[in-house]
């Protein structure tokens, strides 16, 4: 009832502003902290009504709404920290069921994140200046603190789900039965690769939980929020602030790197870590690559590489590969006996479903290979609007304009170095599942065939055609048509604001007036000046005079100076006569 009232009230922009000025927004946020409010996972009518009310209010007040939600999140995280050690990722689910006050705080955080995610997804529809202001709120100390705590909670909940979810617990026991894989806290590097620490103590007994629905809802809300923020960072706008964009993208990249390299304190089970890695690699793939549109968030990928993300990613991949090979050696019964045999698509699908339910190590290994397959896909990078947007950005650690071709080559070379040890290990190749072998072949073919250079250098230049209506608009602004068309070709699309920005940053070189070497042209200039001032035209030169003009260069220069001086005299006489 109250939510419907707010929704109707905020349809009027003036009412919304007056409501905020009267501190009504603070009271409205407190509704999400009430103990009896249903969790967002229950999709209750009260929550839906409040969410719609906030959306109506944000239509004209998105910046202050984001700021208020950030502050509310920080307060709830501080309260949660006082109640439990949630960052250790080993107690939150159990304590949520045992203590109602902890469950209430987590539900409030879930509610704030869910509503904020919806607002962020709609933010790209706002104007450039409003969008930039909304992004700037995440770059403040309060915004940075909220972002880091949200990503920490994300890691904690994914880990606890990996360890405690009942539906997966049975699968873990079945997958590990009869194996000698030890639980471990770290992996030791040797000359032959990573080996599990054999003398590690067994992990603590897994905690029983009744339901993980709240955790799943929270993870989904956080993913939706992060997905919306990455979309905001990729919006093309002439009014964007490069410093804000770069800082926030680097924050994102650092969070993704922490997701991949994070391990819980104390002992942990290998199977649980593989389940955690499967989820986090899928998260990285989802944020960096849009599989539906077949494009890449190139700026996020670049920032991830710039902070050393690929190096750390390959280290974790090496650990996963060694763990997989070790597990296969100890489980001959579970080896893929179908390798090299022809299978029907339905059999492949059933095999994948079985692996998904019983083999976390293989699922994690396959997730890495899928990520690498996207990274070397030159089409996803070359055709991405964000790649075109980067042509006008000042990137950290990069001198000169961004070159997509060089960038793709660099990524492909690093991925090739990471997968070469797999090809060189004959024994391991017989243990990999059929779909992994197929993906490795696809990755290698893309890299070795050099398709990246063809896609960037040939296809865009051949197929892209500047929109003549955009060219006309740029021409009306004072730019030449040829320079306007060149701007559209350089940015790779028909975006008016980006083309204008490129034109302003790359002015057309001024072409000096041509110096005529024929006397006839200089004579025509003198004739035009004289006639415009009402003077009698100068007498025509006799043929011999023209013959005399064919003199050495020094004589020609003197003659030219004489003609110019005569023209100036004519202009001066005209002005004097007018006076």
Pairing of strands 193-196, 289-290: unpaired
pLDDT of residue 203: 43
Domain boundaries, the chain: 1-165+209-240, 253-333+365-463, 469-505, 522-578
With 80 as the cut, is the pLDDT of residue 468 above it?
yes
- The token pair at 468 is 């003549």
**pLDDT at site 96:** 84
Cα 86 to Cα 76, 77, 95, 112, 155, distances in angstroms: 13, 10, 9, 18, 11
The three-state (H, E, C) secondary structure of 296-350, written as one string = ECHHHHHHHHHCCHHHHHHHHHHHHHHHHHHHHHHCHHHCCCCCCCCCCHHHHHH
| Distance separating alpha carbons of residues 123 and 107, to the nearest angstrom | 24
Q: What is the DSSP letter of 184?
A: B
Stronger pLDDT, 189 or 483, i.e. the higher one = 483
Closest CA to 19 of 1, 34, 6: 6
Q: How far apart are CA 258 and CA 267, in angstroms?
A: 19
Architecture of domain 469-505: Orthogonal Bundle (1.10)
Is residue 524 predicted with pLDDT exceeding 60? no
pLDDT higher than threshold 60 for residue 26: yes
In eight-state DSSP terms, residue 196 is E
For residue 276, give every residue at least 6 positions away whose Cβ sits within 8 Å of its Cβ, in sequence order, or none.
158, 159, 162
Express each pLDDT in 202-257 by its tens digit.
444 344 445 567 788 889 999 999 998 988 887 765 566 778 888 999 999 999 99
- How many C-beta neighbours within 10 Å does residue 412 have? 22
Q: Rounded mean pLDDT of 66-76? A: 94
- pLDDT band of residue 458 (cuts 50, 70, 90) is very low
pLDDT confidence tier of residue 184, bands split at 50, 70 and 90 = very low
Give the pLDDT band (50/70/90) at residue 183: very low
Contact 108, 76 (CB under 8 A): yes
Contact (Cβ atoms closer than 8 angstroms) between residue 330 and residue 179: yes
Express each pLDDT in 206-220 by its tens digit. Answer: 444 455 677 888 899
Please write the tens of the pLDDT for every residue from 318-347: 999 999 999 988 865 443 433 333 344 444
Task: Read off the pLDDT of residues 28-55 as tens digits, 9 standing for 90 and up.
Answer: 888 888 876 666 655 566 677 778 888 8
pLDDT of residue 88: 78
């Amino acid at each position: 009832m109250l939510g419907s009232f707010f929704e109707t009230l905020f349809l009027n922009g003036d009412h919304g502003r007056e409501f905020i000025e009267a501190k009504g927004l603070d009271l409205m946020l407190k509704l999400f902290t009430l103990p009896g409010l249903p969790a967002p996972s229950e999709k209750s009518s009260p929550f839906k009504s409040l969410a719609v009310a906030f959306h109506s209010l944000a239509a004209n007040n998105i910046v202050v709404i984001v700021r208020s939600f950030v502050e509310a999140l920080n307060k709830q995280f501080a309260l949660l920290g006082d109640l439990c050690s949630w960052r250790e990722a080993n107690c939150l689910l159990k304590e949520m069921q045992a203590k109602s006050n902890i469950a209430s705080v987590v539900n409030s955080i879930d509610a704030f994140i869910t509503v904020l995610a919806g607002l962020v997804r709609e933010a790209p529809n706002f104007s450039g200046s409003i969008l930039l202001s909304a992004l700037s709120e995440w770059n403040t100390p309060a915004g940075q603190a909220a972002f880091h705590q949200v990503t920490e909670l994300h890691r904690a909940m994914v880990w606890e789900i990996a360890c405690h979810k009942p539906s997966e617990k049975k699968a873990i026991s079945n997958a590990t039965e009869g194996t000698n894989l030890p639980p471990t806290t770290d992996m030791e590097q040797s000359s032959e690769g990573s080996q599990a620490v054999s003398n590690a103590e067994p992990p603590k007994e897994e905690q029983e939980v009744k339901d993980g629905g709240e955790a799943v809802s929270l993870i989904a809300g956080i993913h939706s929020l992060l997905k919306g923020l990455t979309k905001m960072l990729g919006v093309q706008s002439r009014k964007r602030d490069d410093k804000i964009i770069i800082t926030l993208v680097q924050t994102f990249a650092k969070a993704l790197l922490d997701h991949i390299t994070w391990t819980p304190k104390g002992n942990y089970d290998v199977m649980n870590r593989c389940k955690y890695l499967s989820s986090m690699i899928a998260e990285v793939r989802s944020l960096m690559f849009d599989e539906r549109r077949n494009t890449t968030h190139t700026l996020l990928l670049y920032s991830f590489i710039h902070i050393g993300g690929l190096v750390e990613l390959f280290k974790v991949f090496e650990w996963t590969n060694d763990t997989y090979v070790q597990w296969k050696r100890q489980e001959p019964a579970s080896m893929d006996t179908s390798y090299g045999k022809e299978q029907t698509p339905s059999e492949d699908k059933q095999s994948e479903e079985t692996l998904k339910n019983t083999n976390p190590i293989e699922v994690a290994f396959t997730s890495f290979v899928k990520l690498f397959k996207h990274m070397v896909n030159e089409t996803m990078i070359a055709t991405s609007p964000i790649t075109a947007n980067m042509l006008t950005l000042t990137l950290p650690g990069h001198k000169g304009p961004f070159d997509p071709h060089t960038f793709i080559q660099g990524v492909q070379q690093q991925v090739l170095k990471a997968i070469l040890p797999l090809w060189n290990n004959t024994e391991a190749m017989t243990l990999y599942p059929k779909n992994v072998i197929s993906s490795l072949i696809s990755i290698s073919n893309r890299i070795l065939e050099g398709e990246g250079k063809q896609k960037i250098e040939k296809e865009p230049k051949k197929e892209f055609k500047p929109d003549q209506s955009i060219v006309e608009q740029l021409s009306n602004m004072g730019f030449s048509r040829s320079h306007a068309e060149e701007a559209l070709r350089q940015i790779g699309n028909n975006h008016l604001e980006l083309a204008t920005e490129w034109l302003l940053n790359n002015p057309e070189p001024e072409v000096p007036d041509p110096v005529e070497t024929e006397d006839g042209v200089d004579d025509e200039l003198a004739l035009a000046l004289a006639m415009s001032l009402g003077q009698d035209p100068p007498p025509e030169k006799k043929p011999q005079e023209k013959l005399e003009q064919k003199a050495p260069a020094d004589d020609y220069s003197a003659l030219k100076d004489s003609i110019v001086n005569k023209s100036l005299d004519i202009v001066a006489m005209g002005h004097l006569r007018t006076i």
